[in-house]
Copies of this chain bind each other. A is one copy, B any other.
Amino acid sequence: MVTDRGLQVLRAIVQDFVDTREPVGSKAIVERHAFGVSAATIRNDMALLEDEELIAAPHTSSGRVPTDKGYRVFVDHLADVRPLSPAQRAAISAFLDGPGDLDDVLVRTVRALTQLTGQVAIVQYPSFARATISHVELVQLGGGRMLVILVTDTGRVSQRLAFVHDEFDDDDLAQVRSDVASLIVGRPVREGVQRVDERLTQADSAASRLDAAATAVVRVVAEELEEFRQDRLVMAGTATLARSESDFRGSIYPLLEAIEEQVTLMKLMSEMVADDHGLAASIGRENEPFGLGEASVVASEYDATGARARVGVLGPTRMDYPTNFAAVRAVARYLTRMLDDDENAR
C-alpha cells in the first residue's frame, strides 16, 4: 500500500521530471525536497510506487519516471492549481481586451494561451447546435448565384452560395426569404436541422418557380446547419511542437496530423470528462484511440452566452500540468466574462 509520504514522493518525481526531463533518483529527491528522511527510505517508497505502476525505471539502475498512471494520480490528487502571477494576468488582458467579433476574440484567446503555456492552444467554438438562428438573409449576386447568410444569437455568421438559375425581383426575393425564414428563424439549430430536412423530403419537383428557388436555398441552409453542428476549432502554437520534439518518442507526425484534421481533436476535446470546476485532463495513453498516445490535453469549460465549450492546450505527456491548468482556467474565465459582457452590452 502506498503511504501518504509515498504520494508526496510521486509528486516530487513528477515535478522534477517535468523540470529536468531526466529520470529522478532517490538522492536527487532528498536534495531538492525537504522530506527529512534518508535516500534509503525514499527508495523503499519508490519500490512501492513501482509496484503500483505509478513510476517506472527506464533501465535497471537509473532514476524513475512517472508512468501515465502516475501522471493521472498526480493530476487527480496532487496537483495544486496555483493562481497566475499578476504579470500573467496582465498578459491575458493585453491579448484579450478590446472589441471584436466572436472570431477575433477566439483567435486572440488561443494566441494568449499558447503564449502563456508554450503549448499548442485549442479553443472550441461555442456549441452552436444549441444556439438559435436569429437571421436569414439572401443576396442575389447575378448569374443565378444567391448568397445565403445565417446568423445565430451567439454571434456566429456563416455564408454560403446557392445556385438558383434565375433572377428575382425584390418582392419575389422577399417572398423566398420569408418562406425560408419561417422554417428556421427563432428556432434552435437542432430543431432547424429537422425542419429543413422535412422540407427537403417534401420538395415538389413540379413546384412553382419561387418554390424551386426556396428549395435550392433550403438545401444550402441544410449544409450550413450541418457545419454548425460539427463545430470547429481554432488553434495556435503549432510551432511549439518543434521545441518539445524530443518528448515524443516517435515523431510529432501524429500531432501535426491531428492538428490538421481537427475532427480528431474536436472529438477528443468533447469526450473529456470534467471535474466540478470544469477542468479536465486526458493523459498519454488515454489518447491512444486518437493516435495521440504520447500527448496530453488539459482543458477547461467556458461559457458563451449559455453555450458551453472548451479551451485547452495540447502537449507532451510530460507537461507542466499545474501551470497549464491554471492558465487554461484563467483564460476560460476571462473568456466567459468577455462574452457575457458582450451579451450584456447588447
Chain A interface (Cβ within 8 Å of chain B)? 99, 101, 134-135, 137, 139, 141-145, 147, 149, 151, 155, 157, 159-161, 163, 236-239, 241-243, 245, 251-253, 256-257, 259-260, 345-346
Question: Is A99 within 8 A of B163, CB to CB?
Answer: yes
Bound-state Cα–Cα, A141 to B163, Å: 25
State how many angstroms separate the Cβ of A224 from the closest Cβ of chain B.
Answer: 12
| The one of B137, B144, B151, B239 that contacts A256, using a Cβ cutoff of 8 Å | B239
**A238 and B251 contact, Cβ closer than 8 Å, known pairs A142-B134, A346-B144:** no
> What's the number of copies of this chain in the assembled complex?
2
Q: Decide if the interface of chain A is mainly helix, strand, loop or mixed.
A: mixed
Q: Chain B residues with Cβ under 8 A from A155's Cβ?
A: 161
State how many angstroms separate the Cβ of A98 from the closest Cβ of chain B.
Answer: 13
Q: Chain B residues with Cβ under 8 A from A159's Cβ?
A: 149, 157, 159
State how many angstroms separate the Cβ of A236 from the closest Cβ of chain B.
Answer: 7
9 pairs, A vs B, C-beta closer than 8 Å: A99-B163, A135-B141, A135-B147, A147-B157, A157-B159, A236-B260, A238-B256, A238-B259, A245-B251
Question: Is B346 within 8 A of A142, CB to CB?
Answer: yes
Q: Chain B residues with Cβ under 8 A from A346's Cβ?
A: 142-145
**A242 and B251 contact, Cβ closer than 8 Å, known pairs A141-B134, A159-B159, A161-B101:** yes
Bound-state Cα–Cα, A99 to B135, Å: 26
| The one of B143, B243, B253 that contacts A239, using a Cβ cutoff of 8 Å | B253
